[in-house]
């Protein structure tokens, strides 16, 4: 089964709206030849409208990096699924390890957010991955199983159709350490197995599982040559248009 790949930029807390617009102006011509794989730019919330305007008419999608699990309400400082969708997003990153580590995101909140994001018609990119102590203790599969089971709880296969997952070993994020393609592929198999248990085999075969953690132009080809890897969630190397375009063109 061949799945078209998804390359998603995670800009984290970088770029103002003018800087985001400048990125898109430079990036669009660099990826104009990409017609099979999908590309998304997950921008800071204040840049979403600017990015959505700048990519209009192209195949590039726009994403947010987080959202609240309630549809609306008295939640000062939060943004809802409907708000990001109406601002031009098709994608949203959920459960990123930085949200889990610094902002109290839990498996339970990821589950609530996932349900609301799917209802809003968004493509959620749910992040899972182990910390170094868990890997060293041989707990990687247990952690991935727990994170997937909790995230998928109560969600039907029909509802989950747009779901994508990102396997991001926490020890590889922003550290320059990348999982070997084989190690990443093993983790992806575990995740796909969990998806198969929750949503069925056919669903799992179509599910896109991205790899994230120090993906760079230099290692993208080796990583993407693993059939289990259906694209990448890219932090640091997505901030520069040339470098992100080189990752998207991993085959070149
Ligand atoms: P990195 O970040 O590419 O800078 O390691 C990836 C991520 O956090 O999504």
With a CB cutoff of 8 Å and minimum separation 6, the contacts of 216 are 178, 237, 243, 247
How confident is the prediction for the chain on average, in pLDDT?
A: 97
Atom index in ligand 1 nearest the CA of residue 216 equals 3
Atom index in ligand 1 nearest the CA of residue 10 equals 9
**CB 68: neighbour CB atoms within 10 A?**
18
Answer yes or no: is pLDDT of 33 > 90.
yes
CB contact at 8 A, 187 and 216: no
pLDDT (mean) for 21-34: 98
pLDDT of residue 26: 98
In this prediction, what percent of the chain has a pLDDT beyond 70?
Answer: 100
Atom index in ligand 1 nearest the CA of residue 97 equals 8
Does residue 168 carry a catalytic annotation? yes
Residue whose CA is at the smallest distance from ligand 1 atom 2: 235
Is 168 touching ligand 1 by the criterion CB < 6 Å? yes
Residue whose CA is at the smallest distance from ligand 1 atom 7: 235
Does residue 96 carry a catalytic annotation? yes
Among the options 96, 98, 115, 134, which is catalytic?
Answer: 96
Is 65 touching ligand 1 by the criterion CB < 6 Å? no
Domain range 6-71+78-248, its CATH number among 3.30.70.100, 3.30.70.1150, 3.20.20.70, 3.40.50.2300? 3.20.20.70
Answer yes or no: is pLDDT of 227 > 70.
yes
Answer yes or no: is pLDDT of 146 > 80.
yes
Q: Dump pLDDT digits (tens) for 92-129.
A: 999 999 999 999 999 999 999 999 999 999 999 999 99
Q: DSSP states of 69-89 as a string?
A: SSSSSS-TT---HHHHHHTT-
Q: Dump pLDDT digits (tens) for 187-199.
A: 999 999 999 999 9
pLDDT of residue 1: 67
* Radius of gyration of the chain measured on its C-alpha atoms: 17
Residue whose CA is at the smallest distance from ligand 1 atom 3: 235
Q: pTM for this one?
A: 0.97
Answer yes or no: is pLDDT of 176 > 90.
no
Cβ burial, residue 168 (10 Å; 0-12/13-18/19+): buried
Structure tokens at 14: 């970088």
The domain spans of the chain are 6-71+78-248
């Amino acid at each position: 089964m061949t799945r078209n790949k998804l390359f998603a930029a995670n800009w984290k807390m970088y770029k103002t709206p003018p800087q985001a617009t400048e990125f898109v102006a430079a990036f669009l011509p660099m990826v104009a030849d990409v017609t099979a794989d999908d590309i998304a730019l997950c921008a800071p919330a204040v840049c979403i409208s600017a990015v959505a305007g700048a990519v209009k008419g192209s195949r590039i999608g726009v994403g947010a990096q987080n959202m609240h699990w309630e549809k609306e309400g008295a939640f000062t400082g939060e943004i809802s699924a409907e708000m990001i969708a109406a601002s031009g997003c098709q994608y949203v990153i959920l459960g990123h390890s930085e949200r889990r580590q610094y902002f109290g995101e839990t498996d339970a909140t990821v589950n609530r957010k996932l349900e609301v994001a799917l209802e809003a018609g968004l493509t959620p990119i749910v992040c899972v991955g182990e910390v170094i102590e868990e890997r060293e203790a041989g707990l990687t599969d247990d952690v991935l199983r727990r994170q997937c089971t909790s995230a998928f709880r109560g969600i039907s296969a029909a509802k989950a159709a747009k779901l994508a997952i990102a396997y991001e070993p926490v020890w590889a994020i922003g550290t320059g350490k990348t999982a070997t393609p084989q190690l990443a592929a093993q983790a992806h198999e575990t995740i796909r197995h969990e998806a198969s248990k929750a949503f069925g085999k056919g669903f799992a075969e179509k599910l896109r599982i991205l790899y994230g953690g120090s993906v760079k132009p230099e290692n993208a080809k080796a990583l993407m040559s693993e059939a289990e890897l259906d694209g990448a969630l890219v932090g640091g190397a997505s901030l520069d248009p040339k470098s992100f375009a080189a990752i998207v063109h991993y085959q070149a």
